[in-house]
Structures are given as C-alpha cells and as structure tokens.
Structure 1
Amino acid sequence: MARKRKRLPEGDFPAHIDSLAHDGRGVARIEGKAVFIHGALPGEDVRFRYVKRSRRYDEGVAMAIEQAAPERVEPRCPHAGLCGGCSLQHMDPAAQIRAKQQVLLDNLQRIGGVQPASVAPPLTGPHWGYRRKARLGVKDVRKKGKVLVGFREKGTPYVADLSRCEVLHPAVGERIEALSRLVERLGIRSAVPQIEVAFGDDAGALVFRVLEEPTAEDQARLRAFGEATGLHIHLQSGGPDTVTLLWPERSVLEYALPAEGLRLQFLPTDFTQINADINRAMIAQALDWLALEGSERVLDLFCGVGNFTLPLARHAREVVGVEGEAGLVQRARDNARRNGLGNVEFHVANLMESVEGAPWLQGDYDRILLDPPRSGAEAMMPRLAGLDVPRIVYVSCHPGSLARDAGLLATQGYRLERAGVMDMFPHTAHVESMALFVR
C-alpha cells in the first residue's frame, strides 16, 4: 500500500535564516529540524509557507521578508521567484561570490580535511547576458494555449512560463517569446522537448530536439526564423551524432583567446565554458599558477576541445591532452592544426577508470592541469601523485568532489598552496573554483 503523503501545515510561519545551503536556499531550524527556504538569505527574518515535509528536513518558500539582510537586492528578472535557472538574483553579486568562496573553504575543510595556504581573490565578470550555453525545456501546454520555452520551475519538473531571460546571451534571452511562437506554429509542436543554445564570439546556434520528422512546412518556418535572427538552426533526432544543420549552408562556432592569439572552433553540442570573460581570466590564472618557463612537458586531463591545452602549448615545450569523448579530441586536434601548434598531442581515454599502461603516461611530466566534470577525478588521484610533478592545477565545477580529491592528494605528499572561486555562473549557486597543489 502506498504511504499516505503527510499533509502540509496551512498558512505562513515565522523563521530566522541561519545560513545558505549549497543550492542557494536559506536554512532555518524549527524545533531542531532543518527547513530549506527558497528566496531567503542568512540573517533574515521571514514568513514562509511549507511546500514539502520529510522525516529529516522540510522545504518552504519565503512569502514575506520581515527583516531583510543588507545583501538583499531587487531581482532584475520578473521571473526570478519562479524560474529555476537562477537561485540568487535577490542577493547582491558581491555577496554571492563571497558566499561561494565560503562554500569552497567549508567543503575543503569538512570533506578533504585541508585548507589552502592562501585564498586567491575571486575572478568576476559580467552578471547579465553572460550565458553562452544552455538547454531550454519546451512544453506544449494546451491548458494555457501556448508552448512554454525556458528553464524548469524551482523545485518542479515543469517548464517555467517566461517572457525573457536576463542571464542568457541577449540574442536568445530577449527572444524567449519569439521561440515560443515559432514552436507553436510547427506541426510537430508537441514533439519538440528541448532547444539547446550555443554561442561563439560571432554566431549563435539553436539545436531543436525533434521526436518526429519535421514537415517541409516546419522546416521552412525554422529556416525563416534563422534568416530573420541570424541564429544557425540545427535539428537533432537522437544522440549527438544525429545533429544536422538546417540553416545556413555552413555553420562555424568559435571563440577567441586574444591573450594567446588563438581561436577555437566547436560544435553546438560540445562542452565549452559558458562564460567567455571568466574563461579567459581562468586560463590566464591557470597559466600563472603553473609558472611555466618554456621547457616543461605538461599533461592536460579532461581537455575537451583544447581550451587549456592550446594556451599551455604557447608557454610549454610539449603538451599532452587527454579526453574521454572521441569527437572532442578530434576538434582539439583540428584546433591545434588551425592555430599552427605542433607541440601538442591528444589521446582518447576514459579517465573515470584505471588508465594503467596508457601510452600517454609514458615519460616524465613537469606540470599537470585537470578540469574534470562534477564527479571529479577520484580514479586519477593515485596515478597523478605517482607522476611526481611539482605543480598541479585543478579546475573544478563542484566543490565537494574537489575537496575529496584534495584530501587524497594531501595524503600523497601534496600541499594545497592556493585556492579560489570564479564567478562562472552569476545568480546561481554553482561554484566554479581553482586549486594549486605543490609537491
């Protein structure tokens, strides 16, 4: 028999917010039980409404702010309270990055048992219109008589009803309603579950996921939208290998790294950093922390399309890039060739498993850089320590996995020399960070 859901208390309840959770919700304690409250900041007195109760913790949403924190600001986006794309628009950006820095330090201490010898100043950039990559949900909602395009609502699987998005690249962020109207006019409007967004420096692309073959009329409407907006239009019927270009005849996405005189090309479904300004600052900081003098052999793990590999090659004798996805490795090789770099080589390898005996592990390395996914690089930690390099720079998109791996490196003779955060995702609780380990 299914367990009966616990009835939620009715009405609004008072709470004092003690801290900020990792997902940006305020944390209160009521009768000894943690309550996670959307829209509340540390130090505030609020009235909230319960939205979920469980044995270990409850969840709520702030209905009124009775005593506001000094860090509270008016959200720029009218959808900030509903849309799950942002969780911290009600918090001053400077306070956001301070909170993220504290999250990083807390994780390093609590999970890894380490603290950096020094904390680097945060890398910050634009707070609006910065997002070059996104996956937008699409839903034909007959009850509303419209197709919704946007991020999911906070805490629900439903697509938020948006008119615009302030953090997306303006060429798409200001066209949310236009995209909605476009899909509404398609014969397959109920068979388009998502639109992937990707921008380079000079062009942007939309990849329409289609569960049915678009009619000739549908394709004509999609082409017309591309012609009117300049956005490149792709269709995707299955996995990444099914992406096909609909308009124009040729599509090239690329971004520049001016400090290194490089231009990197990528496909719209490839992983690339979403914030161009922070990416450039991040690369410059990584190069500085690695302290290259020109004679080093460098290993770049989880190298993608060569975002770090190619800049490293400008400053090192040789760079070896390793990545698990063969398509990204091919794009990295092509980028090296287009930029005239002959001192790089790339390999395909699953870095989440044992790589013992891999040919690219042969010989000595002088530096290591790694930029793993959210799960981190636990499987690589013993092998990295065995390479006995004097400096390792670890770029992380999840402070918990970084902290775990930092603890492993600490047990194998490495000191956490420096760590700091980067504001890759303003107005979200996402914490991007960088750490320097010295033998």
Structure 2
Amino acid sequence: MALAVLDCAHFTAGECRSCTWLGQPYDDQLAAKLAATRSLVDAPGLEWLPPVASPMAGFRNKAKMVVGGTAAEPTLGILGPDGAGVDLRDCALHEPAIVAALPVLAELVRRADLTPYDVGSGAPVSQRGELKHLLVTASPEGELMVRLVVRSTAVEARVRKHLGWLRDALPAVRVVTLNVQPEHRAVLEGEREIVLTEADTLPMRLGGISLHLRPRSFFQTNTTVAAALYAEAVAWSAELAPTRVVDLYCGVGGFALHLAAPGRRVSGIEISADAIASAERSRDEAGLPGEVDFAVGDATAPEHAGLLAGADLVVVNPPRRGLGHELAGRLEESGADHVLYSSCNPATLARDLADLASYRPVRGRLLDMFPQTPHAEVLVLLERVPGQRSE
C-alpha cells in the first residue's frame, strides 16, 4: 500500500517551494529525520523512543502571509521571483480556522482600502503602500489573533472603522492589532504594537493550562505536537521527582507551568517582558503563584548564574543557535542532576552536548513539529555522570 503523500497544487505548479519535502511519503520523512538526528546525537545507553508524528496537513497554528496585489484584489501568501503576489489562502498546512478566516481578511483589506506595500524590484525603491503582512494565530478552540503589519499608523482609523464588520463576519476573532514596521527591509514585524480590541491575549489551552499569547509572543507552530512535547516533559520529570526546577528559556511559561507540582518550586526566566507578563497571567489563572515564579532577563547573562543554585532539574529550550559555550559551562558548574533539553536544531544540540561533558544523554524523542520539511523538535534527557557533581 502506498504511503501517504500530501498533494499541493501550488507546489506542483512551482509557485511555492516552502515545503521542501512535499511529495516524500510521510513515514519516510519521519525515518529520515530520526536517522539524521541520531547521526548527530548519539551516546552509549541513549534510548530513542518512537517519533511523535504530526497530522500531515492542517497543523500550523500561525499563518504569516505577505500581502501583495492591490487593495481591490489583494493576494495573501508569498511574493514570487518577479515581486508579484502568489495567493496561498488555501494552503493545506494551516489549521482550518485560519483557512476559513483568510478570505474574510482579504475582504477587510478591500473594505478598508489597505494598499499592499510595494517592496520594489529595483532602485530607487518606491516604498508605496501600507499593508505588509497579515499574521493570524489560531487557538485550540478556534479563536483568532489577527495582526496587520503596516508601514505607519496612517491606516489605523480605517481599520478601526471596520472592526464591527470584521467581528460580525468573523466571530472567532478575539484580538486585532496593528504592528508598525516602518523600515524597508526583510523584517516580519516591528517593535510597536497597537491593540485595537479589548482582549490583548489569545489563550492557548493545553493539558489543563491556558497559555496567554500576546501579539509578539513566541509559541510552537504546531499545537498538537506542542501538547505532546509538554506531556512528554511532564512524564519524564515525574520519574525524576525534582523539588527545584529552573526553566532558562521559559517563553510564555509552557514548560514551567506544565511542570508545576505540589512540593516543587519552579522558576522561569525569559528575555521578553511581554512573554513574562503572559506567563504570570497564566500562572495566576492556574492558581500557582506560590509554586512558580518568573523573571525578565537573558538566560545567557552571567548575572543570572545564581538562578541555577539548588536546581535538580534544568529545562532549556533555546533558539536554533543553541546554548553556547558560556551557558553550557554554567550548567556544567551547577549542581543539577538532570537537564531536559528541547531543541529545534540537532546540529547545535550535538555541539552543546559536547560542551556538557558532565552529563550523558539517556533518553531522546523526536517530535515532528514541522512536517513536509527536514526540521523537527527533539527532546533529550541528560543526567549527570556519577562523580561529576559540582561542589
């Protein structure tokens, strides 16, 4: 029997090649990802659990759509080599709530006369138009956060004028914002966010915890696999029974809040103040203020080294660049018995494991956060080698 392959007219026509592994049977994708990861991350006694598969389609909880065309006939998708918009409203990767929302948002562009920004293909750049991107995030309940990335605030009044229409046409909308990105460069969003709705967060309910996403908060792009990732961390941690947990890249609190338990103290640190505000709100709603604390700060900065004092489990979920030599060195010097490392880049994970010589990987699992591409999330449990504990 043939293995499942996702069909995409845009890929077949050569309009979009973002899904570099599209056309490769999904079982083969999983096998290839696991083989590539194991070739980089291997050690005596390391147990690899079976990969966690994802739905092949309808799994992306966030759409990042370049707006092209004209205000009267906008395209939502990507720009082709000639700078013309390629409409991907029917992209099979997006969750159904997003696919249903995109035609309504295209109508908002028309009604509010939001001229797409002209990136220009030569010099001098025209820099005409206002609307650059539409960013849409869907919660597990189908609620939506819609962000319009614009060049300036010139269109704010027009967008506000049509908010009532948008709510009627798209009742799932919870949060609407304008993100101001005035620079002519390849940057998805700017620093300034103008919230146009009463609600300013999108609750992502996973495993009994509601994680509040603010507009510029990071969240895993695949909700189903994110839930599995947190559940795996909870199960592995339960076996260890730690009393002091430190999450060094806590984001909106996903790992920290899921790992909270009676008799256990959990601390998280994250460089984004918005993310920490979200984490604290989620913590308070979950009734965990006495068990979990959060702080704004750079986990890699030496002044936060004291946060590791007394920790018996450290959770790290760094960006693709990994931990780096200095932070790995501080983990080496800590007294933590175990490290739970969640990585989106096996190459930097392997480099960091080489730096963490006092630890050995004992368990690993690949979680397929990004089907149709060579990327995946990997969760690895490290334990300190006997006799290597710092004094």
Shorter-normalised TM range: 0.7 to 0.9
1:376 CA displacement = 0.8
**2:196 paired residue number:** 246
**1:172 paired residue number:** 98
The residue identity in structure 2 corresponding to 1:347 is A
1:132 to 61, 75, 79: 61
**1:66 paired residue number:** none
Confirm or deny: 8 A CA contact 2:139 2:203 kept in the other structure: yes
**2:320 paired residue number:** 374
1:425 to 359, 363, 370: 370
**1:108 paired residue number:** 41
1:73 CA displacement = 5.5
What pairs up with 1:47-58 in 2 under 5 angstroms?
Answer: none
Matched, 1:83 2:16: yes
**1:397 paired residue number:** 344
Quote the RMSD (CA, aligned, Å). Answer: 2.7
Q: Distance in 1 between matches of 2:50 and 2:166?
A: 43
Q: Distance in 2 between matches of 1:349 and 1:217?
A: 38
Secondary structure of 1:106's counterpart equals helix
Matched, 1:193 2:124: no
Q: How far does the alpha carbon of each residue in 1:203-229 deviate from its partner, in whole angstroms, 9 at most, with x for none?
A: 111100111311644443454234301
Confirm or deny: 8 A CA contact 1:84 1:152 kept in the other structure: no
Confirm or deny: 8 A CA contact 2:98 2:138 kept in the other structure: no
**1:228 paired residue number:** 169
**2:245 paired residue number:** 298
2:292 to 344, 352, 366: 344
The residue identity in structure 2 corresponding to 1:105 is R
Structure 2 unaligned spans of 5+: 117-129, 182-188, 385-391
Q: Identity percentage over the alignment?
A: 28
Secondary structure of 2:69's counterpart equals strand
Confirm or deny: 8 A CA contact 2:311 2:336 kept in the other structure: yes
Q: Distance in 2 between matches of 1:107 and 1:158?
A: 40
The residue identity in structure 1 corresponding to 2:291 is N
1:301 CA displacement = 1.1
**Stretches (4+) displaced over 6 A:** 155-158
**1:280 paired residue number:** 227
**1:4 paired residue number:** none
Secondary structure of 2:205's counterpart equals strand
1:364 to 290, 310, 313: 310
Structure whose CA Rg is larger:
1
Label 1:385 to 1:152 Cα distance change in 2 as closer, same or farther (>3 A).
farther
Confirm or deny: 8 A CA contact 1:418 1:435 kept in the other structure: yes
1:135 CA displacement = 1.9
Length-normalised TM-score, structure 2: 0.82
1:126 CA displacement = 2.2
Confirm or deny: 8 A CA contact 1:395 1:435 kept in the other structure: yes
Secondary structure of 1:383's counterpart equals helix
**1:30 paired residue number:** none
2:180 to 237, 242, 245: 237
Secondary structure of 1:243's counterpart equals strand
Q: Distance in 1 between matches of 2:233 and 2:286?
A: 20
1:254 CA displacement = 0.8
What pairs up with 1:303-342 in 2 under 5 angstroms?
Answer: 303-314=250-261, 317-341=264-288, 342=290
Instruction: Count the aligned residue pairs.
Output: 356
Secondary structure of 1:277's counterpart equals helix
Label 1:216 to 1:300 Cα distance change in 2 as closer, same or farther (>3 A).
closer
**1:150 paired residue number:** 77
The residue identity in structure 2 corresponding to 1:210 is V
Matched, 1:406 2:332: no
The residue identity in structure 1 corresponding to 2:139 is G
Label 1:156 to 1:425 Cα distance change in 2 as closer, same or farther (>3 A).
farther
Structure 1 unaligned spans of 5+: 1-69
Confirm or deny: 8 A CA contact 1:292 1:316 kept in the other structure: no
Q: How far does the alpha carbon of each residue in 1:15-46 deviate from its partner, in whole angstroms, 9 at most, with x for none?
A: xxxxxxxxxxxxxxxxxxxxxxxxxxxxxxxx
The residue identity in structure 2 corresponding to 1:345 is D
